[in-house]
């Protein structure tokens, strides 16, 4: 079974540019999450999809971040325009369809985003 895959693995862009990150969850996982780790800090929740619907986007830092999951399969996270403080590692995770909260989440390798 393929795990969570993220693309690209690393992105270096200039301040003001746009970047789009992609996440393909484990097949059949309805729950998809985005997290971010900025340097020196703990991993922080950004948002949660159940299929194509945003269940919780309370962790999104501001309106420069837009996440989508059209069709309930893969998800994209766009940052526009990117700022220096957006640098960090963006992780995607997925978990199987379940109404219970104790399903572990499986993480992708992350996208390392560097804003110059």
Partner 1 sequence: RKEVEQDPGPFNVPEGATVAFNCTYSNSASQSFFWYRQDCRKEPKLLMSVYSSGNEDGRFTAQLNRASQYISLLIRDSKLSDSATYLCVVNDYKLSFGAGTTVTVRA
Tokens linked to 87: 């640098």
Q: Measured from the CB atom, is 59 or 61 closer to partner 1?
A: 59
Q: Which is nearer to partner 1, 5 or 81 (CB)?
A: 5
Provide, rounded to whole angstroms, the least separation between the CB of residue 42 and partner 1: 4
The least distance separating partner 1 from the CB of residue 20, rounded to whole angstroms, comes to 20
> What are the φ/ψ torsions at residue 85 (nearest 5 degrees)?
-75, -5
Paired tokens of 34: 């985005």
- Supply the minimum distance, in Å, between the C-beta of residue 92 and partner 1: 9
Q: Contact residues for partner 1 (CB under 8 A)?
A: 33, 35, 41-45, 48, 56, 59, 91, 93, 101-102, 104-110, 112
Q: In whole angstroms, how far apart are CA 83 and each of 66, 68, 113?
A: 14, 20, 11
Residue recorded with tokens 């998809």: 32
């Amino acid at each position: 079974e393929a795990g969570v895959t993220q693309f690209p693995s690393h992105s270096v862009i200039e301040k003001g540019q746009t970047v789009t990150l992609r996440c393909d969850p484990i097949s059949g996982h309805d729950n998809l999450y985005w997290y971010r780790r900025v340097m020196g800090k703990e991993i922080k929740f950004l948002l949660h999809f159940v299929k194509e619907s945003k269940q919780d986007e309370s962790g999104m830092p501001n309106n420069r971040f837009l996440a989508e999951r059209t069709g309930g399969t893969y998800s994209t996270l766009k940052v526009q325009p990117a700022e220096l403080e957006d640098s960090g590692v963006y992780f995607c995770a997925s978990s199987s369809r379940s109404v219970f909260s104790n399903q572990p989440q499986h993480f992708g390798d992350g996208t390392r985003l560097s804003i110059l």
